[in-house]
Structure 1
Amino acid sequence: MKRRDLVASVGSGTVLAAVSGCLAASGDTVRPDTDPDRVPAEFTCEDDAFDRYPAGYDPDELRWGDAGNASIRVDSLAYEYGDTAELTLTAPERGNSDKWNVELFTEGGWVELRAVETDRDPSNTDEDVDGGHRWNLELTEAGIAEASRHADRVRVCPDLVSGRYRFVYHGVLGDGGAGGGSVAAAFDVEV
């Protein structure tokens, strides 16, 4: 083998291995492998003018990371208050990008962070869209409320606490629906 051909083949293999390693690492960002360090007893909104934002999915049919041909990933598994989490959905088709919940793990299970004004419907439209979506979710009370479809009637209640959070997208269509139509990714937040 000529020296030039050897360098080219070794160089290509190194680049391919480096790219493969990057892709494998990014694919692992579905949820932490360990139990959370902090689990609050509850997450209760004491304001009577607000009700907990409804979950748009069946918890028994929720899939971590992948459902059929749809998948969701988060760019990191640990954040500090005020950081921005980037969540990426890949799917050939999906419902609209407003079909999501963001929840905190408590001693009683997963609880939605958002509350909606009593008697104000937080409905979503039912349009179908080709391709995936990317959410940039600022991990603050205002950032989460502003990312919501009806920011004028939604708030995070009570304030965020340190713990394990998960983002659930419940608009998966097509083959992804075989997995229940909902995918989730989890991460820790230090407040």
Structure 2
Amino acid sequence: MTRLTRRAILYGLGAGSLAALAGCASDGGPGGDDGDGGDGTDGTDGDGGSDAAPETEAHQVGGALSGPAWNREERRGFCALFTEESGAAWLLRDAPAETRAFVEATDFDESVLAYVESVGPTTCHNAISFADVAVEDGTLVASASVRGPGDDDVACGEAITFSGAFLRVTAEARPDAIRASVTDGWGETSELNGADGVLDPERLDGYVRPDGDPETVPAGFDCEAADFERHPAVYEGGVSWGSGGGVGGDGRGLELRVVDPDGDGGSEAAAFERGDRVRVELTNASGHEAYVGNQGKYNLELRTEAGWTEIRGAEEGTTFDYTDEAIGVRPGETLSWEFELTESGLVEGGPHADALRVCPDLVPGRYRFVFWGADDLAVAFDYVG
């Protein structure tokens, strides 16, 4: 997780630096052999109607730079197109020096970088082969396959092995999208879609909010203390339930969920009791790094007949200041908050814990967490007391 000032993220990074995979098409079989046995590409033109054959150069990474963030049981790999060097920065954090040098040597005024990850069954399945590379109407098309040992006499260890590779593509007109078929080391080819990122949001633990209306909606949540002033609702207007983007208008891809830490982590909404623990998880499911504010930037609210009401407050006149910073969240990375469902447990360890308190005591109803350090993301859960 990296930290940058807001100025750095807004002025130092290109929000459009990653062109996500647009409809990776499957041809139902392996992507093809290496044409020259050298850089993993055959350098041939694609189907009729494509632009002139692009110049290509491949670089094998030796592993999966994303982590891998994706689950091999759910998909065959991950791929993306980078049109600016800053877009690939999150992948290079732990990359070998040779890989960083390959990316830095790319002239993004003339070229783009495609990146592909996949997986195979042995230690010899450790490289990606590209074939049928072409540019068609502004879209880079290619096949990518995991390379095996290629020789029955080679001794290979039986171990799940992830591999990744960059492909530098130089064409008369730079592509701004990519379409590819990716074949893993078992010979299975599937369609990937970079717009879906490195994780499937539907497979994340937890839920966004319970179905239907809450059983209990209190008339209000009034504190009898004369000097009590509620923490303001810092967000404006509506909220984004479960899904949204980060600061700086960097699109979507952040997923917020309620998770029962004492349950099975499933998608069924839990009804929490007093003293239970509830966890909120923010996951970057996209294929690019997202930036959020510090984790203290949230509201805790109860749904009343008058609307959503912040449950925390402090002595009248208290100033609530928050640092203005941007935290980088890598694809597949998760930030979390965990609370004990008691008056003290909902402020302990949080922002301004020495000043904030819950008033009045908790009542049964539907509560929500709004993280305004991103795209005003919200989740909700029911508390039964």
TM-score bracket, normalised by the shorter chain, equals 0.7 to 0.9
Match of residue 183 from structure 1: 377
Cα drift, residue 125 of structure 1: 0.9
Cα drift, residue 51 of structure 1: 0.2
Uncovered stretches (5+) of structure 2, i.e. residues with no partner:
1-71, 75-200, 245-251, 261-268, 285-289
CA distance in 2, matches of 1:142, 1:169: 20
Pairing of 1:14-163 with structure 2 (within 5 A):
16=73, 24=202, 26=204, 29-60=207-238, 62-67=239-244, 68-76=252-260, 77=269, 78-91=271-284, 92-131=290-329, 132-163=334-365
TM-score with structure 2 length normalisation? 0.41
Uncovered stretches (5+) of structure 1, i.e. residues with no partner:
1-14, 18-22, 173-180
Contact kept? 2:205, 2:259, Cα under 8 Å: no
CA distance in 1, matches of 2:217, 2:73: 41
Cα drift, residue 116 of structure 1: 1.6
CA distance in 2, matches of 1:117, 1:133: 30
Would you tell me which structure has more helix in proportion to its own residues?
1
Secondary structure of 1:71's partner?
strand
Secondary structure of 2:354's partner?
helix
Cα drift, residue 49 of structure 1: 1.7
Match of residue 11 from structure 1: none
CA distance in 1, matches of 2:349, 2:232: 16
If asked which structure has higher relative contact order (CA below 8 Å, sep 6+), I would say 1
Match of residue 10 from structure 1: none
Pairing of 1:161-176 with structure 2 (within 5 A):
161-172=363-374
Secondary structure of 1:72's partner?
strand
Cα drift, residue 117 of structure 1: 1.5
Contact kept? 1:45, 1:115, Cα under 8 Å: no
CA distance in 2, matches of 1:134, 1:183: 13
Secondary structure of 1:105's partner?
strand
Secondary structure of 1:101's partner?
strand
Cα drift, residue 160 of structure 1: 0.2
Residues 72 and 125 of structure 1: CA distance in aligned 2, closer, same or farther (over 3 Å):
same
Contact kept? 2:206, 2:259, Cα under 8 Å: no
Code of the residue aligned with 2:241 in structure 1: it is W
CA distance in 2, matches of 1:111, 1:122: 17
Deviations 1:59-111 (A, max 9, x none): 32x11000122220011432111111110012421100000011000111100
TM-score with structure 1 length normalisation? 0.79
- CA RMSD, aligned part only? 2.0
CA distance in 1, matches of 2:347, 2:228: 13
> Could you tell me the percent identity over the aligned residues?
44
Contact kept? 2:214, 2:382, Cα under 8 Å: yes
Task: Count residues in correspondence.
Answer: 164
Deviations 1:13-49 (A, max 9, x none): xx948xxxxx746456000111100010000112122
Code of the residue aligned with 1:105 in structure 2: it is R
Residues 140 and 59 of structure 1: CA distance in aligned 2, closer, same or farther (over 3 Å):
farther
Deviations 1:136-167 (A, max 9, x none): 11111001121331111110000000110000
Secondary structure of 2:345's partner?
helix
